[in-house]
Structures are given as C-alpha cells and as structure tokens.
Amino acid sequence: MKPKATGWIAENADGLGVDTVWIGEDIGIGQETFILSAVTLMKTQQVRVGTGIIPMTIHNISTLARAALTLQEIGKGRFAFGTGIGGLQDLQKLGITLKKPVTELRSTVEILQKLWHGDSVSAETELHSLNDYDLRLKEPVEIPVFLGVRGPQMLRLTGTIAQGAILSGPFDYLRDATKILDTAAKKAGRAPSAVEKVAWLPTIPTFKGGKEILAKRVVAIVVGDMPEKVLDLIDMDREKLDRIRIAVAASGPKEGAEHVDQEVIDMFAIAGGREHMVDQFENLSKLGMTEVVLGPPFSGDWRGAMTEIFDEIVRRKA
Amino acid sequence: MDWGITLNVRDSIQGVVEKSQIADSGGLEYIWIADFPSTKYAPVVASVVAQTSKTSKIGIGLVSTLLYDVETVVQAMSTLIESHGERFELLLGPGDRLGLKKCGISFGEASTIVERVLTASKRIKSGLEKEGHRCPIWLGAQGPKMIEASTAVDGVLLNYANPEMIKWSLGLLANHPNDFRVGIFPPTLISEKMREKDMSSFYYSTAVVFLGLVRSVAEKFDLSEQLDEARTKLKTGGFTQELVKSIKTPILDMFGVSKNLEEIKEYEEAIRKLGISLLVSGPPQGLTTELVESLVRVKQQR
C-alpha cells in the first residue's frame, strides 16, 4: 500500500474505533514495516500498532530486538511485536530453509524476551548467532509477542510462550486452533485469556464499489493454496472444495471462482454487505477470536466501506 | 559550510526529538541518526525526527552494509522518502567490527571489505534511483582504500579532524566528480566554555577513534609506536579511563574537534579552504541537550 492509503488508516483509526492496526511485511514489497509502524504510532493516540507479521527469518535478531524496542518506546505501551517464520514460498525463493522451524521460532522469541529483559545473550540457533549481546537497557521492557502460526506444534508453542496468536484459515480451522491454544496455555499454567487470538481472513466488502466476483476469486485462490491437513478439518462437502482446487490449478482463479458459492465464501473469508460482515465478526468472536482484522484486498471505495463497517460495529457494541 | 549533529547514540526517543528540534530550529543543516551499535533502530528514529522537525536534512548512519542487505536499505530509505519527502541522506560503511561480531556477523576477509561495501553502496544507489528517489549516499572512511573508493558515490565523511590528515585524505580524492562532497565526522566538543566532564567524554571518544586507526595511516603520521602501546594496554586492561589518560593529549586532539567560538571560526575557515563542506559533530556533542544548544549558539555567533 502507498503512504496515502496507510496514512488515511492511521489518521482515522482512533476515530473509527479500531483497536489495533496490524502492519505486515510482504518481503521486499511495499513500505518498510517498522517505519510504517512508527508513522502509524505517531499519528494515533489510542490504537495499538502491531507488526503482523515480521518474518524473523530474514532479519538479524539484533535488528528485530532494536526495532521493536524503538517502537515500544514511541508507542509507550501501544506496540505489539508480531513475528513468525514467514511464507514458505517466499523463504524458498530466498534460499532459506529451516530444519526445525518450531524450535527456531521458540528460540527466537526466548532470545528476544531475554534481550528486552535486559540480559546479555549468547546463543546459537539455525539462523541466529549472538555473542554476549545486550541492548544496554536500564530496566526491563515488556513487549507483547504475537506469533503468526498455523500448525498444531506452532499453536502449542504460541499458547505456551506468546501473548497472542495471529491466525489465518477457514472458520472450522480457527475453532480447532483456539482449542489447541487454550489447552497449551492451561498446560503452561497460563489463563487461556492470556493469549489473544487475532483472526486474519480476507475481508471483501461487496458494497461501496466492492464486487462479489472479487470475493469469489480471492476465496478460490485461498482454497487452492490451503494445505490438505487444514481442508480435512472443514465440515463441508469436500467435492465442492476439490472442484475449486482443480479449476484453480488448471485454469486460474477466474475459473475457480465459478465454483465458489456463499457457503464457501463464509468458511474462508468475510465478504458481503456491511451487516453480513459484522455478523461474521460476531461468529468469529463466538469461536474464541478476540480480534478480527479488517484487511486486504482493498478495492472499490474501501475507505467508505471500512467506515460503514466500523460504524456498524460501534452501533452493535452500544 | 554545513553543520550537523549526531544523535541516537545513547538517547531516548524523547531525547532525540528534543535535541533534533533544537538543531532544526537553530539552523543546523543536518541531523544524523546513528544506527548500530546504537540500540535504537535508526530508520524508525529518523521517521520520528522527520515528523517532529521541519527543515534540517536527516542523515542515517553509519548504516552497516554487512548488517543489512541492499533490498532492506533501499526499502527503508524509499519508505522514509515517500512518507516524509526528500530530506534524507545515507552514510554507509562496514560498521563496528566488535559490535557486529556480537550479532553473529563476520567482517570476512579484510582485503575485500572495501570492495564489498562499495558493491553494496552502488547497488543501494542504483536501487534508489530506480525508485525515482533522490538520496545522496556518503561513505564513512578512514583508510586510503575506502577514501579512494568513495568517489563512486556522492560523498565521503572522513573520520578525521586534523587538517594535515584531512589534507592527506583529500589528496587521495584528486579525481573526484565536480558535485562530490567531502565532510568530516570526528568526535566534537564545540562550546563557549569547556567543562571537565565534557572534556573527559571528548577524550574518551577520540581515544576510540585513535585505537581504531588504520595501520597505514598510523605509519604515515608517525603514530605507530603510540598506537601499539595503547593497543597493548587495551588488550591487557580493557578500555579504561587510565588507558585514555595514558595517550598523550596532542595525539587525542588530532582525532577530534574541541573548540570555543574563536577557535572554531579559524578551524572552519582552515578546513573549508581544504575543500570540506560538511562538519558533522560526533559524540560527545550530541550526548546532552546543553551541548546541542551550545553548538547551535556557536554556529549562530561565528
């Protein structure tokens, strides 16, 4: 997104009633995430600003620690550090492979937490190496860590060590993921509520210039890319999903979209009119999600659509 | 001659904001935001400075081309420029060897370091040009190879203060392009009156530069013996106040600018005549608000 678009979000976030602005890193594309986070923190007074997510695989760990520390100081408690392994396809392009991704993510989070605590750290992981490095802190700094995760091991790790999970997947998957997170939290002696659950699904308004066909195409792509293991969790006619996957693989999302109906849209995305979208947010809340991200793809008069959706949320809260 | 101040060495964000506003409203042409090993991430701090100041150019660096890849630097500078306008300049170099080692980054083969920094710098320059951004790039240099290599970018910031050393450095740049700029960024203490505490910080900073002096330069200026002696003490006893005191003051004075109002007028004129167009005040000048205010006052009165 261009600064004009992200600037509009930052300037209006407080007024709209947004709880968090999440800023993701699309490797090598778009604005630099830490700077955009700083700009957003400086333009807002109330909202939390989080990175959602920064791939910990492509930055030196000292940079992650320093950047988060800087943003935490700017935000005075309004910053959340979202991280994760990163998209596998992106990492493959960069020649990055991890033998033990869960172990690596655990180690990275633990190192960062020690550095923010003020400790001097020496550590060797698959990706990171520190030799008696510290941030010269006078006192410990608390920075909430959110992990962008999917598989059960990663979810258990998140429930054990993180302050939040950023989840993406169909509704049925989110239901199961919540259970895993809560169980892991309890096992680690934490309250399930100690782990926030952020749902990040494609959100496509079909009003204010937003088109239903875009929603169908996006969902076709999502279904086409979805791992088999996740599809197995879904309580839905599997043949219907397979028809979409086959069409996407053979001819692309346009053809795949022809097999997408409202049931499929409602499983994989949040799309429709204002009231329907907010109904879906409420359904996610019932599944245990503590926050829902209204995010890309941005099309049509997305500013107008976003304003109407938040108005509806505020109206229902009242 | 343009004047600048280096911030973000040990500052809080609020401290950087306050000092940069003093520098900006006081007419300093540049605010330089130090990066690693500073604990605050310079591109983010630079964004804050851009949002809280008006006219000063904002330099970022020294940015280590070993710590950050080319794409990351291009993306960060592009974001800063797109968000806040063309106020930014970039100082590149290999970075602090010991600090980088702590983060698992190896300097690699010493004989190729200049070439690697230069390659990265050219790619960054080209990447920013492709994005349509104007962002002058400087190389930080002390050794003769890096000084010579710097003509491939837009300017060089020399880690020297002594006019004889500056003159020697400029001799290495005989064939530089017309719009090429040469500046210096030594430890600096410019103030109407010198306080003992500030002088102590000044000599601490100059000792750091002296101890890191390139061997060939030490030989050229007949400093090898004193350098070896100081480095032996560093190895055995670490970096202490005693070590700093053991280095003769005239030697330390060669590596920093410690001047009052009258002295700075003379010094500025001398280095301007040599071809220096930018004086970036390094530590301890930016360490306290009082010293930044002193710098601004002296600049205005000179």
pLDDT, position B242: 94
Does A1 contact chain B (CB < 8 Å)?
A: no
pLDDT band at B123 (very low <50, low <70, confident <90, very high): very high
pLDDT, position B174: 81
- Contact state of A32 with B82 under an 8 Å Cβ cutoff: no
pLDDT, position A211: 87
**Average of per-residue pLDDT values in chain B:** 95
User: What percentage of chain B carries pLDDT values higher than 70?
Assistant: 100
Asked whether residue B178 carries a pLDDT value surpassing 90, the answer given is no
3-class SS string, A186-201: HHCCCCHHHCEEEECC
pLDDT, position A93: 85
Q: What is the mean pLDDT of residues A21-37?
A: 91
Distance of CA B190 to the CA centre of its chain: 16
Pair B186, B208: CB distance under 8 Å:
no
Rounded CA-CA distance A135/A145 in Å is 18
Q: What is the mean pLDDT of residues A205-224?
A: 91
Half-sphere exposure of A243 (CA within 13 A, CB side): 12
Interface test with B, best of A4, A70, A107, A129 (most B CBs within 10 A): A70
Q: Which of B98, B250, B274, B287 is nearest to B184 (CA)?
A: B274
User: How do residues A65-75 score in pLDDT, each as one tens digit?
Assistant: 999 999 999 99
Q: What are phi and psi of B180, to 5 degrees?
A: -70, 135
- Contact state of B67 with A39 under an 8 Å Cβ cutoff: no
Chain A partners within 8 Å of B40 (Cβ): 66, 69-70, 73
Asked whether residue A90 carries a pLDDT value surpassing 90, the answer given is no
**Average of per-residue pLDDT values in chain A:** 94
Q: What is the mean pLDDT of residues B15-35?
A: 97
pLDDT band at A225 (very low <50, low <70, confident <90, very high): confident
Does B82 contact chain A (CB < 8 Å)?
A: yes
- More confident call, B216 vs A87: B216
pLDDT, position A118: 97
pLDDT, position B12: 95
Chain A partners within 8 Å of B39 (Cβ): 66, 69, 135-137
Asked whether residue A41 carries a pLDDT value surpassing 80, the answer given is yes
Asked whether residue A154 carries a pLDDT value surpassing 90, the answer given is yes
Asked whether residue A92 carries a pLDDT value surpassing 90, the answer given is no
Asked whether residue B55 carries a pLDDT value surpassing 80, the answer given is yes
Asked whether residue B89 carries a pLDDT value surpassing 80, the answer given is yes
Rounded CA-CA distance B248/B256 in Å is 13
pLDDT, position A210: 82
Rounded CA-CA distance A110/A125 in Å is 11
- Contact state of B36 with A62 under an 8 Å Cβ cutoff: yes
pLDDT, position A271: 94
Rounded CA-CA distance A223/A253 in Å is 10
Q: Nearest CA of chain B to the CA of A181: how many Å? A: 32
- More confident call, B209 vs B193: B209
Asked whether residue A182 carries a pLDDT value surpassing 80, the answer given is yes
User: How do residues B285-294 score in pLDDT, each as one tens digit?
Assistant: 999 999 999 9
Asked whether residue A190 carries a pLDDT value surpassing 90, the answer given is yes
- Contact state of B76 with A60 under an 8 Å Cβ cutoff: no
pLDDT, position A176: 95
Q: What is the mean pLDDT of residues B129-143?
A: 96
Does A69 contact chain B (CB < 8 Å)?
A: yes
User: What percentage of chain B carries pLDDT values higher than 90?
Assistant: 94
Does B103 contact chain A (CB < 8 Å)?
A: yes
Asked whether residue A28 carries a pLDDT value surpassing 80, the answer given is no
pLDDT, position B102: 96
Does B80 contact chain A (CB < 8 Å)?
A: yes
- Contact state of B48 with A62 under an 8 Å Cβ cutoff: no
Distance of CA A184 to the CA centre of its chain: 20
Residues 26-65 of A with CB under 8 A from B: 28, 31-32, 34-39, 42, 59-63
pLDDT band at A229 (very low <50, low <70, confident <90, very high): confident
- Give this complex's ipTM: 0.94
Structure tokens at B220: 């050229």
